[in-house]
Amino acid sequence: MIFAGLAEKLQETFRRLKSKGRLTEADVDEAMKEVRRALLAADVNFQVVKSFVARVKERAVGQDVLSSLTPAQQVIKIVREELAGLMGGTQSKLNMAPKPPTVVMMVGLHGAGKTTTAAKLANLMRKQGRRPLLVACDVYRPAAIKQLQVLGEQLDIPVFSMGDRHTPVDIARAAVEHATRQGRDLVIIDTAGRLEINEEMMAELEELKAALRPHEILLVVDAMTGQVAVNIAETFNKRLGLDGVVLTKLDGDTRGGAALSIKAVTGCPIKFVGVGEKLDALEPFHPDRMADRILG
């Protein structure tokens, strides 16, 4: 379970703090040292941890916290607010087009879960009343086109494809026209990934972005890769300007560093999380609920 280790350590720290009654600045310092260690052990970005702890400390000793009746509770409340803030504060939604169809471009590296997430997102949005069209633009891997078709069939959601002999731009343009004709109000484009970030992939995605002017570019990254996921997000964001991130495999044994670092490092909110292999295992990301879960 994500954050299991972090949650255990922080809850232990705050149990001790609560048992003290009155608090001194030294008590807060000691607790913050433990928080710092716990966040670093959870693989949170070093700079993020540093400024997080500084902010909490400033608020905890700067206001009337220590002289209040329940100082430990006040400190925990500050930590809760700052943890949620680190992850974006409130839930971030997809940008919707004022005039349909809304065009969403899914980007990411191989294996991150991009194709599965495209299908999961179509499924989730259909439950919210949208009429999605999935688009297979990975012209380098016929297997990826087939994979999307199979997922679309399972969900009974149409998949637009033109095989692998056309350019992604031509396929995507034709797909948007098709969606408009068919009254589909949400076009979800599965683009081609690579094993690692390279110039060819980025140039291709830039071209697709320029031609399509998508309302949303969503990066899919694997939470299990921790700070690597954060670096990937930073690189994609600099080049493409992301609107949001989908963090997959949160059901796995991840420490949670990516979830706590991505917004703070890149400025891009995590909008959805993948929590399993099934096609209904995609959830909107709620920073405040996640902070609650960490602090128990």
Q: Can residue 12 be called a binding residue for ligand GDP (CB under 6 A)?
A: no
Q: Can residue 254 be called a binding residue for ligand GDP (CB under 6 A)?
A: no
Name the residue nearer to ligand GDP (CB basis): 111 or 163: 111
Name the residue nearer to ligand GDP (CB basis): 212 or 282: 282
Q: What is the nearest approach in angstroms of ligand GDP to the Cβ of residue 121? A: 11
Please write down the HEC assignment for all residues of the chain.
CCCHHHHHHHHHHHHHHHCCCCCCHHHHHHHHHHHHHHHHHCCCCHHHHHHHHHHHHHHHHHCCCCCCCCHHHHHHHHHHHHHHHHCCCCCCCCCCCCCCCEEEEEEECCCCCHHHHHHHHHHHHHHCCCCEEEEECCCCCHHHHHHHHHHHHHHCCCEECECECCCHHHHHHHHHHHHHHHCCCEEEEECCCCCCCCHHHHHHHHHHHHHHCCCEEEEEEEHHHCHHHHHHHHHHHHHHCCCEEEEECCCCCCCCHHHHHHHHHHCCCEEEEECCCCCCCEEECCHHHHHHHHHC
252 labelled ligand-binding? no
Select the residue interacting with ligand GDP from 30, 170, 234, 251 (CB under 6 A): 251
Name the residue nearer to ligand GDP (CB basis): 209 or 249: 249
Select the residue interacting with ligand GDP from 5, 85, 100, 252 (CB under 6 A): 252
166 labelled ligand-binding? no
In the window 188-247, what residues touch ligand GDP (CB under 6 A)?
193
In the window 105-134, what residues touch ligand GDP (CB under 6 A)?
108, 110-116
In the window 159-198, what residues touch ligand GDP (CB under 6 A)?
193
254 labelled ligand-binding? no
Q: What is the nearest approach in angstroms of ligand GDP to the Cβ of residue 247? A: 8
Residues forming beta bridges with residue 235, ordered by sequence position: none
Select the residue interacting with ligand GDP from 184, 249, 255, 271 (CB under 6 A): 249
Q: What is the nearest approach in angstroms of ligand GDP to the Cβ of residue 196? A: 13
Q: Which residue is nearest to ligand GDP (CB)?
A: 274
The window from 93-101, 164-172, 256-264, 268-276 that contacts ligand GDP (CB under 6 A) reads 268-276
Q: What is the nearest approach in angstroms of ligand GDP to the Cβ of residue 250? A: 6
250 labelled ligand-binding? yes
Q: What is the nearest approach in angstroms of ligand GDP to the Cβ of residue 276? A: 5
Long-range contacts of 287-291 (CB under 8 A, 24+ apart): 287/83, 287/84, 287/85, 287/86, 287/87, 287/88, 287/89, 287/90, 287/91, 287/263, 288/84, 288/89, 288/90, 290/3, 290/83, 290/84, 290/87, 290/259, 291/80, 291/81, 291/83, 291/84, 291/87
248 labelled ligand-binding? yes
Q: What is the nearest approach in angstroms of ligand GDP to the Cβ of residue 116? A: 3
Binding residues: 108-115, 190-194, 248-251
Interface positions with ligand GDP (CB under 6 A): 108, 110-116, 193, 248-249, 251-252, 274-277, 281
Annotated binding site for GTP: 108-115, 190-194, 248-251
